[in-house]
C-alpha cells in the first residue's frame, strides 16, 4: 500500500480499491521551494551560508588570523616606543610552536610520499614527469626575472632616492658565487643521510693563523708601527717593530645552515623509490610502511592545521612589533616596496594563471581557490617548506591532483622553484644600482637575469633566504654588497608575498604536470589505503578508496 506523510507527521494511506473511505483521506499539496516567499528564501539562503561557513571554516580562520595579527601588532606597537628581543620572543612564541609543528612533518612527508609515489612508476614515466617539472620551473622563473627587470627599468624605484640619507639595517655577509653554486651541487649528493635531515652544507671561509714570528726577524727594515699586506690570500699583520708577526690564511669549512637539506632528501627519496619499484614483491613491505607513514603523517597534520590560525596571528604580530620604523614604507624604500608588490601581483594573478589556462584549458582561478588555505599559510609562515604539508593536502583533496604527482612536484618546487625570489632579486639589484647612480648596460642586465635565476634555485624554502642570495646578484654586476641592508627593513613583509607566489607557482605546476602525466601512470593501488572516510579541513568527506 502506498503511504505518504501528512502535514501532522502521521502516515496516511492513499485511497485504492481496498480502502475507499473518503473520511480518512488527506489532501497533499506540494509547494515548490522557490514559491515559499521571502521568509522561505531567507531560510534557504541562511542554510547555504551556514553550510558554506562550515566547509570553509579553516580558510576563514586563516584569513581572520592575518587581519587579527596585523591589528594586534599595531596595537601593541602603540603602547611604547621600543620592545626588547625577549618581549618580542614571548609575543611570537605561539607562532614559533606552529613553525615547529609544520617543520616536524616535512621529513616524513617528503620521504614517505615520494618513495611511495615513485615506486609505482616506471623509469620512463618518472623521467617524463621530471622533465616537465623542471621545464615548467625554468620557464616561470625566467619570466619572473624578465618581469622584475621590466618593472624596475620602467618605474625607476631608486631614481629619486638619496643613498646618503637612507638608513642601513644590519650587515651583509659576503658570499662567493662559485662556492654557493658548488654547495647547491654538494647538497644534491649528501655524504651523510642522517646529517642531511637537519643540516645542509654551506661553505664558509675561516681565517686561520698559519705563522707566528718576531717582527724583527720577519721584516728587518720595518719602519712603520702597524702594517698589513696580502699575497695569494695570505694576510700578514705586523703590530710594531718589537711585537710578533701574524700570518693568516683562509680555509674552507662546512658551516652548515641549521636547516634540513631538502634537496638531498628529495634526491635520495627519488632514487630509493625507483630502486624499490624495480624490486617488485620483495620491496612491498617497505612500500606498505611508506603508505602507512603517509597516512599517519597527514592525520597528524590535520590536527596541527587547526592550530594554525592562532600561530599565524602571533607570527605576524611579532614581526610588526619587531619592525623599527613603519615610515620607510612611505619614504625612500616605498617605491621599491610597491614595485616588487606590483611584480608579484602580475606574476601570480596573470602570468602563472595564463600559463595554466593555455596548457590545461581549465579555469586557473578555480584551481587557485582550491589552494587558498596553502596561500594563507604561506603568508603567515613565510616558508614554502613549512607550507608543504598544507599544499599537498589542498592539491590532493580540493584539486584532485594525483598524489604521486603532487608528492613529486611540490618538494622539488619548494627547493628550486622560487619565482617570487627571482623577481625580487632582479628588482632589488636594479634599485640598488639606481640608488648608486649607476646605469646598467644591456650586458649587465643580462648578467642580473642569469644570476637572479640561478641564485633563486639556491635559495632554500626558509624565511628570507632570498636576502642571502641577493648578495650574489649584487657581486655579479659590481654593486656594493653592503647596500643590501638598505632594503632589509621591508624584506620580512615582502618575503610573505614572495612565498605566496612561490607556493602558487609550485601548485599550478603540479596541476599542469598532472594534466599531462596522469594518463601515463598506472592506477593507484588502493588496497594499501584506509577505506574509512577522512575529514578534510574544508568540512567535506572523501573516500580514500572508491566503493
DSSP code for 32: P
| Surface-to-core class of residue 185, CB atoms within 10 Å of its CB (0-12 exposed, 13-18 middle, 19+ buried) | exposed
CA dist 228 and 241 (Å) reads: 13
Q: Does the pLDDT of residue 526 top 50, yes or no?
A: no
- Of 160-174, 431-445, 519-533, which range is least confident? 160-174
pLDDT of residue 461: 47
Beta carbons within 8 Å of 402's beta carbon, 6+ residues apart = 514, 517, 518, 521, 524
Q: Which helix (H) or strand (E) holds 419?
A: helix 419-435
Q: Which helix (H) or strand (E) holds 211?
A: strand 203-214
| pLDDT of 265 above 80 | yes
Is pLDDT larger for residue 200 or for residue 212? 200
Q: Do the beta carbons of residue 465 and residue 421 sit within 8 Å?
A: yes
Cell 634537496 locates to 263
CA distance 128 to 135: 10
Answer with the residue of higher pLDDT: 384 or 488.
Answer: 384
**Looking at per-residue confidence, does 72 or 125 come out higher?**
72
pLDDT of residue 7: 47
Q: What is the structure's pLDDT at 544?
A: 37
Place of cell 615610515: 327
Which pLDDT belongs to residue 504?
96
Range from 78-87, 227-236, 527-536 carrying the lowest mean pLDDT = 527-536
Query: 368 vs 121, which has greater pLDDT?
Result: 368
The three-class DSSP label of residue 247 is strand
pLDDT of residue 29: 55
Mean pLDDT in residue range 359-363: 95
User: Pick the residue with more confidence: 152 or 1?
Assistant: 152
Q: Please check whether residue 512 is in contact with residue 359, taking contact to mean a CB–CB distance below 8 angstroms.
A: yes
Select from 384, 389, 382 the least CA-distant residue to 318: 382
pLDDT of residue 55: 65
Q: What average pLDDT is seen over the chain?
A: 77
Residue 149's pLDDT is what?
92
Query: In sequence order, which residues have a C-beta less than 8 Å from that of residue 90 and are 6 or more positions away?
Result: none
Cα 313 to Cα 335: distance, rounded to the nearest angstrom: 27
Q: Band of the pLDDT at 543, cuts 50, 70, 90?
A: very low
Question: Which positions ≥6 away from 54 have C-beta within 8 Å?
Answer: 539
- Write out pLDDT tens, residues 273-298: 888 888 888 988 998 999 899 889 88
Report pLDDT digits (tens) over 148-162. 999 999 998 877 655
Tell me how far apart the alpha carbons of residues 405 and 514 are, in angstroms, rounded to a whole number. Answer: 6
- The DSSP symbol for 530 reads -
pTM above 0.85, yes or no: no
The pLDDT assigned to 181 comes to: 73
pLDDT of residue 188: 83
**Cα–Cα distance for residue pair 394/402, rounded to 1 Å:** 12
What pLDDT does 243 receive? 52
Instruction: Indicate the range of 39-48, 213-222, 392-401 predicted with least confidence.
Output: 213-222
List, for residues 478-509, the tens digit of each pLDDT value: 888 777 777 877 888 888 999 999 999 999 99
Average pLDDT score over residue span 168-195: 71
DSSP string, 91-136: HTHHHHHHHHHHHHTHHHHHHHHHHHHHHTS-HHHHHHHHHHHHHH
Q: Could you tell me if 487 and 334 are in contact, meaning their C-beta atoms sit under 8 angstroms apart?
A: no
pLDDT on residue 229: 44
The residue ranking higher by pLDDT, 414 or 516, is 516
Cα of first residue to Cα of last residue in the chain, in angstroms, is: 34
> pLDDT tier at 49 (50, 70, 90 boundaries)?
low
Closest CA to 535 of 332, 211, 266, 303: 303
Contact between 122 and 499 under an 8 Å Cβ cutoff? The reply is no
CA atoms within 13 A on the CB side of 416: 23
Contacts of residue 107, defined as CB under 8 A and 6 or more positions apart, other chains included, come to: 197, 260, 265
Task: Return the higher-pLDDT residue of 429 and 52.
Answer: 429
> Residue 48: its pLDDT value, please?
66
Instruction: Round to whole Å and give the CA distance between 182 and 458.
Output: 10
Cβ neighbour number for residue 212 with a 10 Å cutoff: 10
**Confidence band (pLDDT; 50, 70, 90) for 40?**
low
Distance (Å, whole) CA 320 – CA 145: 29
The Cα 88–Cα 92 span in angstroms is 6
Lowest mean pLDDT among 107-116, 496-505, 537-546: 537-546
Q: How confident is the model at residue 416 (pLDDT cuts 50, 70, 90)?
A: confident
> Where are the alpha helices (H) located in 306-402, listed in sequence order?
308-322, 334-346, 352-360, 364-370, 372-381, 388-397
Percent with pLDDT over 70 in the chain:
68
- Average pLDDT for residues 409-434, to the nearest whole number? 87
Which are the contacts of 412, defined by CB distance < 8 A and separation ≥ 6? 133, 137, 266
**DSSP designation for 161:** -
pLDDT higher than 70, residue 90: yes
On the question of pLDDT at 516 being above 70, the answer is yes
Among 35-49, 139-153, 466-480, which stretch is predicted with the lowest mean pLDDT? 35-49
Look at 211-215, 312-316, 493-497 and tell me which has the smallest mean pLDDT: 211-215
Does 533 or 126 have the greater pLDDT score? 126
CA triple 446-449-454, angle to 5 deg: 125
Amino acid at each position: 500500500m502506498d503511504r505518504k506523510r501528512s502535514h501532522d507527521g502521521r502516515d496516511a494511506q492513499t485511497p485504492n480499491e481496498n480502502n475507499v473511505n473518503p473520511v480518512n483521506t488527506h489532501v497533499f499539496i506540494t509547494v515548490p521551494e522557490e514559491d515559499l516567499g521571502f521568509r522561505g528564501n531567507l531560510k534557504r539562503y541562511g542554510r547555504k551560508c551556514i553550510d558554506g561557513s562550515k566547509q570553509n571554516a579553516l580558510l576563514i580562520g586563516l584569513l581572520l588570523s592575518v587581519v587579527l595579527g596585523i591589528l594586534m601588532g599595531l596595537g601593541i606597537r602603540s603602547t611604547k616606543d621600543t620592545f626588547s628581543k625577549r618581549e618580542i620572543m614571548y609575543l611570537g612564541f605561539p607562532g614559533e610552536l606552529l613553525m615547529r609543528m609544520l617543520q616536524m612533518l616535512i621529513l616524513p612527508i617528503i620521504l614517505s610520499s615520494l618513495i611511495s609515489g615513485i615506486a609505482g612508476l616506471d623509469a620512463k614515466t618518472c623521467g617524463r614527469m621530471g622533465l616537465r617539472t623542471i621545464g615548467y620551473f625554468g620557464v616561470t622563473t625566467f619570466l619572473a626575472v624578465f618581469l622584475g627587470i621590466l618593472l624596475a627599468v620602467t618605474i625607476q624605484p631608486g631614481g629619486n632616492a638619496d643613498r646618503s640619507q637612507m638608513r642601513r639595517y644590519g650587515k651583509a655577509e659576503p658570499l662567493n658565487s662559485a662556492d654557493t653554486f658548488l654547495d647547491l651541487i654538494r647538497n644534491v649528493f649528501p655524504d651523510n643521510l642522517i646529517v642531511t635531515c637537519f643540516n645542509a652544507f654551506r661553505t664558509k671561509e675561516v681565517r686561520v693563523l698559519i705563522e707566528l714570528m718576531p717582527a724583527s726577524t720577519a721584516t728587518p727594515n720595518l719602519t712603520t708601527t702597524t702594517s698589513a699586506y696580502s699575497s695569494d690570500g695570505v694576510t700578514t699583520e705586523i703590530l710594531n717593530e718589537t711585537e710578533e708577526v701574524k700570518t693568516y690564511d683562509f680555509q674552507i669549512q662546512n658551516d652548515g645552515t641549521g636547516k634540513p637539506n631538502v634537496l638531498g632528501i628529495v634526491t635520495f627519496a627519488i632514487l630509493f623509490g625507483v630502486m624499490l619499484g624495480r624490486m617488485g614483491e620483495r620491496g612491498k613491505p617497505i612500500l606498505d610502511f611508506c603508505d602507512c607513514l603517509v597516512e599517519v603523517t597527514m592525520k597528524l597534520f590535520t590536527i596541527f592545521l587547526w592550530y594554525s590560525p592562532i600561530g599565524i596571528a602571533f607570527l605576524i604580530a611579532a614581526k610588526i612589533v619587531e619592525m623599527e620604523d613603519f615610515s620607510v614604507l612611505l619614504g625612500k624604500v616605498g617605491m621599491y616596496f610597491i614595485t616588487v608588490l606590483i611584480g608579484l601581483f602580475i606574476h601570480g594573478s596573470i602570468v602563472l594563471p595564463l600559463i595554466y589556462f593555455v596548457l590545461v584549458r581549465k579555469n586557473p582561478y578555480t584551481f587557485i581557490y582550491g589552494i587558498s588555505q596553502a596561500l594563507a599559510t604561506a603568508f603567515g609562515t613565510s616558508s614554502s617548506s613549512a607550507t608543504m604539508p598544507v599544499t599537498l593536502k589542498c592539491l590532493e583533496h580540493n584539486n584532485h591532483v594525483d598524489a604521486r604527482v603532487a608528492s613529486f612536484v611540490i618538494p622539488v618546487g619548494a627547493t628550486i622553484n622560487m619565482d617570487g625570489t627571482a623577481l625580487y632579486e632582479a628588482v632589488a639589484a636594479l634599485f640598488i644600482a639606481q640608488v648608486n647612480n649607476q646605469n646598467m648596460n644591456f650586458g649587465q642586465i643580462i648578467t642580473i637575469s642569469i644570476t637572479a635565476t640561478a641564485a633563486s634555485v639556491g635559495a632554500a624554502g626558509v624565511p628570507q633566504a632570498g636576502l642571502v642570495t641577493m648578495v650574489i646578484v649584487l657581486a655579479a654586476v659590481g654593486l656594493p654588497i653592503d647596500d643590501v641592508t638598505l632594503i632589509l627593513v621591508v624584506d620580512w613583509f615582502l618575503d610573505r608575498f614572495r612565498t605566496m607566489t612561490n607556493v602558487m607557482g609550485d601548485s599550478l605546476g603540479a596541476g599542469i604536470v598532472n594534466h599531462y602525466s596522469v594518463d601515463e601512470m598506472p592506477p593507484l593501488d588502493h588496497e594499501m589505503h584506509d577505506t574509512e572516510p577522512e575529514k578534510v579541513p574544508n568540512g567535506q568527506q572523501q573516500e580514500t578508496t572508491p566503493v
